[in-house]
């Protein structure tokens, strides 16, 4: 017999709920992603529904960037409760409690129909390339970012993303294992990071004023060992780079938006920080 659907209200979770979030993620075949969850808890509002037996029935995170955009992530419902309205309840709660003009998210095939019904629009596809990158040139054009680069990083990030992500940007030097910039005159031509997620290193963010700088940064920030590169299909040159360096497509998601059109510049947003943060 089906377990009854939990009727507990959606509540704001705290870091002490992290182990239950991770058990829920594992229930859906996602990893524990400790480093990522902790960063999301530090910058976003994590909501969940208790199942009445000490576990969580579902979660959703809203990370607001000022008044303009919020990133929605970690939309998860325990397998035993799926297709009974909890995903919709969690999403509506996050949407009602987020006051930004727009929302963005990256949808799996499970989530996309739900988001479409809630009014989200598809804007692009994103393919995760994984593997061990071969033939990196490491020319040393970029340098490790320093505190003095942070104002320029913040300025370029806001202009390209279309919202003030200052809290997240401030956290990037410690979240990322490697965080580099290409300096240009008194400012920067671009910046990039790579961060450890379990046994793989996702590359991101990569934000740059032109493709040559972006590809240089990707090359120089990509570490040895298993990596992941989330490529927005609006950047075919990055797909070509991934394939030429031995990475292979693992899965594809859909980048979606809700509300006012986001006033960013996708042509300079090469790789997101993480799908959870845009």
Q: Which of residues 86-105 bind ligand COA (CB under 6 A)?
A: 86-88
CB of 51 to ligand COA, least distance (A): 13
User: Does residue 41 interact with ligand COA by CB under 6 A?
Assistant: no
Instruction: Supply angle C-alpha 46, 48, 52, rounded to 5.
Output: 150
Rounded Cα distance between 149 and 243, Å, is: 31
**Residues in contact with 213: Cβ distance below 8 Å, sequence separation at least 6, in sequence order:** 182, 189, 190
Two tokens, residue 11: 């509540």
**Position closest to ligand COA via CB:** 87
Helix/strand/coil (H/E/C) assignment for every residue in 134-178:
CCCCCCCCCEECCHHHHHHHHHHHHHHHCCCCHHHHHHHHHHCCE
Size of the site for ligand COA (CB under 6 A): 17
Residue 4 lies near ligand COA (rule: CB under 6 A): no
x-or-dash pattern for ligand COA, window 53-82, by CB under 6 A?
Answer: ----------------------xxx----x
Q: Does 123 bind ligand COA (CB under 6 A)?
A: no
Helix (H), strand (E) at residue 114: helix 112-117
Distance of alpha carbon 151 from alpha carbon 144, whole angstroms: 15
111 contributes a contact to ligand COA by CB under 6 A:
yes
Least distance in angstroms from the C-beta of 70 to ligand COA: 15
Question: Interface with ligand COA includes 110 (CB under 6 A)?
Answer: yes
Tell me if 3 contacts ligand COA by CB under 6 A.
no
**Which residues form the interface with ligand COA (CB under 6 A)?**
28, 75-77, 82-88, 107-108, 110-111, 113-114
């Amino acid at each position: 017999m089906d377990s009854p659907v939990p009727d507990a209200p959606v509540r704001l979770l705290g870091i002490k709920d992290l182990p239950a979030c991770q058990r829920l993620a594992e229930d859906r075949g996602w990893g524990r992603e400790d480093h990522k969850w902790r960063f999301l808890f530090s910058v976003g509002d994590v909501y969940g529904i208790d199942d009445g037996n000490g576990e969580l029935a579902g979660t959703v995170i809203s990370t607001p960037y000022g008044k303009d955009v919020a990133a929605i992530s970690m939309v998860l419902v325990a397998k035993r409760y799926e297709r009974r309205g909890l995903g919709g309840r969690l999403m509506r709660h996050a949407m009602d409690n987020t006051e930004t003009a727009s929302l963005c998210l990256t949808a799996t095939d499970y989530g996309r129909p739900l988001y479409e019904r809630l009014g989200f629009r598809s804007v692009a596809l994103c393919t995760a390339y994984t593997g061990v990158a071969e033939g990196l040139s490491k020319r040393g054009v970029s340098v490790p970012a320093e505190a003095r680069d942070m104002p320029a990083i913040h300025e370029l990030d806001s202009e390209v993303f279309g919202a003030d992500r200052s809290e997240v940007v401030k956290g990037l030097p410690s979240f990322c294992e490697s965080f580099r910039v290409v300096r240009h005159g008194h400012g920067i031509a671009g910046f990039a990071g790579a961060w450890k997620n379990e046994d793989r290193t996702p590359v991101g963010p990569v934000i740059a004023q032109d493709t040559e700088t972006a590809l240089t940064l990707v090359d120089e920030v990509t570490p040895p060992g298993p990596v992941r590169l989330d490529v927005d299909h609006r950047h075919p040159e990055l797909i070509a780079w991934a394939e030429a360096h031995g990475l292979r497509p693992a899965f594809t998601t859909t980048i979606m938006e809700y509300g006012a059109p986001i006033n960013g510049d996708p042509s300079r947003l090469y790789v997101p920080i993480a799908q959870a943060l845009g």
